[in-house]
Amino acid sequence: MTSVIDWETTPNPVKENRAGIIGKAVDRYEGPLKVTGTAPYAYEVEPPSPPAYGVMLSAPIAKGRITGVDTAAAEASPGVLLVWTYRNAPAQGPRPARYDFFTPSPRPALESDQVYFFGQQVAVVVADTLENATAAAALVNLTFEDGAKAVIFHDHYDEAVDPPGEKDVEIGDFEQAFAAAPVKVDDVWRTPLQNHCQMEPCATTAWWEGDHLTVHTSVQMVRFAQNSLAETLMLPHKNVRLLTRYVGGGFGGKGSFYEDLVLASLAARELGRPVKVALSRQQMMHGTVHRPATEQHVRLGATPDGVLTAMSLMTITHCDRRGNFTEHASNFARNLYAAPNRLTGHRLVRLDLPVASAMRAPGEASGTLSLEVAMDELAEKLGMDPVELRIKNEPPTDPETGKPFSIRQLVRCMKEGAQLFGWDRRLPTPGQVRDGRWLVGLGMAAAIRGNFLLPAKASFTVDADGVITVKQGMTDIGTGTYTVLAQIAAETLGVPLGDVRVEIGDSELPPAPGSGGQFGAATAGSAALDAGMNLRKAIAELAVGDAASPLSGGDPAQVTFQDGVIAIANRSERLSDLIRRNRPDGLTADGEVRPAADAGQWSSHTYGAHYVEVAVDPVTGEVRTRRMLGVFAAGRILNYKTARSQLTGGMIWGVGSALTEGNVVDARYGSLINQDLAGYLVPVQADIGEVEAIMLDEVDDKANPMGIKGVGELGISGAGAAVANAIYNAVGVRVRDYPITPDKLLAALMAAGR
């Protein structure tokens, strides 16, 4: 088994970075295709013959059953090829009792007359054109029996249970310590149900050749989706080839897949022609997954000089009736601050709402919105600077497990951020800074997000032109996977970036777990590095064993790779010459990564500090973000440009979480009332003033062979709390029910006599 010690002590080209390609802010590998509109996303892929088009219908009730099906008019509509409901949909693999996030299993579509949530897909119409399918879909007549439903989260707290297999975690005696603490914060925060709002909706193009299916779809996890689809269709895994070359945003929402994939596949088989199916924006809101709402109770106890003696974050959250997903909003609190007495845990309510699942930084994104504001409240009560309070409670080792940190530079993030941002200009008393009609405030919060490594494989091939091709069943969901894999390959094999090709997003390629949990770059990249190392070895051995090579007879361990040239001291030749002579069809090496057996001995996270300046109109309750700075420590950075984009993207999402984003549930229908991008407001350009992300020089040698970590979820963690704290500094009132919209802030201002 691999040990962390091997990672720490073994040199490799990524660590050495001789050509300086690692970390370089190079442009996106696939950028030109995307900005010219020529990167074919799943729905745009041209199938081998003219496709048919499917349009799905969604249930207009939250719970109940389909009592009547009349498809005659739709079937008679021009161009219609098939209409399916539960009554005539093909047989599919059986749904498991509960889904598990990582285990592939069948996901049958149109499986029964039962409706489990509003927006569940209940029919599909396939026609020769999208227009004909859309027109016919309006003619499908389904009737429903509307059952009693539980959809309003806070009405069902009494039904909350421990999440499966989980218990509260208590260290010391929290209640006693909290009761005895001279300074306390004891407040409740609410976060709403949120949606991913990816630019690209879920979509599939499917076709069959004999009993082999090819699907282009938009998912984050290639192998998971391919295996699950094959099991749904009751086919051997090898009969399904799943491709997902370009993904227009995932954020956790495409960790699984939806009826577009299943029904396009089934309809293509039935009709003997390719079929395309996509979800509408409204179907994306209801018919995929969402981040569930939370209620979080934070209690902090401290000594008058600011030492935390008691800390608790208890979260109630919800999932769907058949689900198991828990928004672990309390988990990060177990690793953030020192306090001898600690209590954290979760309660789960099952509701008749759409499916709850992961959304960018599940846990941290919601949880930091309470605890990191509570710390601000505590700092004020103590008369301390919020940064000083956090530094005072910086733990020497993991505060719950006592494990050493692999590396932790949270304090440095906070200090450097404070200096760069001008934190010393913050006036501790709220409401002191006016700019025209605006009151201006500064706020900060800490950021933390876990670090993960999963098993993965990759292969590298060098061809007779000296071009390296990276192959991996990995995805790029807008994160920069293509680009960082190319950088790793170029640095490892000593070739220019322009001599690297990257092939990902295909189930026929060596498997990688995909994109999620900010484990993508570390996992896929480490496997790629291993494949690159193995290819170096194979090339070196080929060269020293080739009588025609200037390197003939040398020590393979002495071979160097630079600028497309292999050399031992001053004996050299072009890599392409060696391969052309010996392996005109190319030379391939495989690689893999597995988690280290002893990785669990360290507490390994990514960290950061957010600083935000907001302006608040105290007359109207409007909030506008003016400046944001994030300083992050996330291991070695592979590409400062793509990493910065991920971090600032997360920070901007934090503004949305604080100020605008949230789906509201109408109790009468069990549906989300804001179901498009005019009603569900994500930040737009005008909402974000200056935004900058700084990455500290860091290497986490215990994280993986490259010493890198993820940044995809770190940026959002804590960002919204910094906005909330800045609002308080501007106007002196707090709203603990997110998002902080003008109506809520106005009510708080008026309640405070302003």
Partner 1 sequence: MRPFTYERATDAAAAVKSAAETPNAKFLAGGTNLLDLMKLEIEHPNHLIDVGRLPLAKIEDTAEGGLRIGAMASNSHVAADPRVRARYPVLTQAIVAGGSPQLRNKASVGGNLLQRTRCAYFYDTSKPCNKRAPGSGCGALEGLNRNSAIFGASHACIATHPSDMAVALVALDAEVEVLSPAGQARSFPLMELHRLPGETPDVETHLIPGELITAVVLPPPPKGGQVYRKVRDRASYSAGLASVAIAGGRMALGAVAHKPWRAAEAEAALASGASPAEAIGAELAAASANGRNGFKINLISRLVPAAVAEAREPGRGA
Residue 213: phi and psi, rounded to 5, are -105, 135
List the one residue out of 367, 421, 448 whose CA is nearest residue 632: 448
By CB under 8 A, how many residues form the interface with partner 1?
37
Which of 425/668 has CB closer to partner 1? 668
- The site map against partner 1 for 124-153 (x = CB under 8 A) is -------x--xx--x---------------
Which of 601/741 has CB closer to partner 1? 741
Q: Is 402 in contact with 335 (CB distance < 8 Å)?
A: no
Q: Amino acid letter at 579? A: I
Give me the least distance between CB of 143 and partner 1, in Å please.
13
Give me the least distance between CB of 659 and partner 1, in Å please.
7
Sheet strands (E) in 451-597 = 456-462, 468-471, 500-503, 560-562, 565-568, 571-574, 587-593
Per CB under 8 A, the segment of 100-108, 493-501, 584-592, 666-674 that binds partner 1 is 666-674
Per CB under 8 A, the segment of 250-258, 676-684, 690-698, 711-719 that binds partner 1 is 676-684
Q: Which helix (H) or strand (E) holds 540?
A: helix 520-544
Helical ranges in 604-639 per DSSP H = none
| Residues in 33-62 that interact with partner 1 by CB under 8 A | 60
Starting from the edge strand earliest in sequence, which strands make up the sheet with 341-351, in order? 169-171, 341-351, 308-320, 294-302, 183-191
- The site map against partner 1 for 266-305 (x = CB under 8 A) is ----------------x-----------------------
Which of 57/418 has CB closer to partner 1? 57
- The site map against partner 1 for 437-456 (x = CB under 8 A) is x-------------------
Spell out the residues 6+ positions from residue 219 whose beta carbon is closer than 8 angstroms to its own: 225, 242, 244, 247, 250, 254, 255, 256, 257, 261, 475, 514
Q: Look up 713 and say whether it is catalytic.
A: yes
Give me the least distance between CB of 100 and partner 1, in Å please.
32
Take residue 2 and report the two structure tokens written for it: 């691999």
Give me the least distance between CB of 152 and partner 1, in Å please.
12
Q: How far apart are CA 10 and CA 716, in angstroms?
A: 33
Burial of 638 (0-12, 13-18, 19+ CB in 10 A): buried
Which residues does residue 435 pair with via DSSP β-bridges, in sequence order?
438
Using CA atoms of 505, 507, 509, 511 in order, give the dihedral in degrees to the nearest 10.
90
Which of 423/738 has CB closer to partner 1? 738
> Contact with partner 1 (CB under 8 A): which of 674, 692, 696, 737?
674
Q: Amino acid letter at 377? A: E
| Residues in 592-651 that interact with partner 1 by CB under 8 A | 619-622, 624
| Residues in 222-251 that interact with partner 1 by CB under 8 A | none
Per CB under 8 A, the segment of 455-463, 503-511, 658-666, 710-718 that binds partner 1 is 658-666
Active-site hit among 372, 592, 698, 713: 713
Which of 238/437 has CB closer to partner 1? 437
Positive or negative CA dihedral for 667, 673, 675, 677? Answer: negative
Take residue 504 and report the two structure tokens written for it: 């990902």
> Cα 564 to the chain's mean position, in Å?
36
Give me the least distance between CB of 615 and partner 1, in Å please.
10
Which of 376/617 has CB closer to partner 1? 617
Which of 463/661 has CB closer to partner 1? 661
Q: Is 623 in contact with 659 (CB distance < 8 Å)?
A: yes
| Number of neighbours of residue 175 by Cβ within 10 angstroms | 13
DSSP state of 689: -
Give me the least distance between CB of 151 and partner 1, in Å please.
13
Take residue 533 and report the two structure tokens written for it: 């190392």
| Number of neighbours of residue 601 by Cβ within 10 angstroms | 15
Per CB under 8 A, the segment of 38-46, 346-354, 558-566, 681-689 that binds partner 1 is 681-689
Give me the least distance between CB of 577 and partner 1, in Å please.
54
Per CB under 8 A, the segment of 108-116, 481-489, 521-529, 736-744 that binds partner 1 is 736-744
According to the binding rule CB under 8 A, does residue 427 interact with partner 1?
Answer: no
Q: How far apart are CA 303 and CA 313, in angstroms?
A: 19
Concatenating the DSSP letter of every residue in 91-126 gives P-PPPPSS--SSS-----SS-SSEE-STT-EEEEEE
Q: Amino acid letter at 269? A: R
- The site map against partner 1 for 511-550 (x = CB under 8 A) is ----------------------------------------
> Contact with partner 1 (CB under 8 A): which of 158, 209, 585, 743?
743
Which of 131/690 has CB closer to partner 1? 131
Which of 74/185 has CB closer to partner 1? 74
Give me the least distance between CB of 150 and partner 1, in Å please.
18
Helix (H, G, I), strand (E, B) or coil at 27: coil
Q: Identify whether 739 is preceded by a cis peptide bond (ω within 30 of 0).
A: yes
List the one residue out of 247, 698, 312 whose CA is nearest residue 506: 247
Which of 547/751 has CB closer to partner 1? 751
Residues that bind partner 1 (CB under 8 A): 60, 131, 134-135, 138, 282, 437, 619-622, 624, 659-660, 664, 666, 668-669, 671, 673-676, 678-679, 681, 683-687, 741-743, 746-747, 750
Catalytic residues: 713
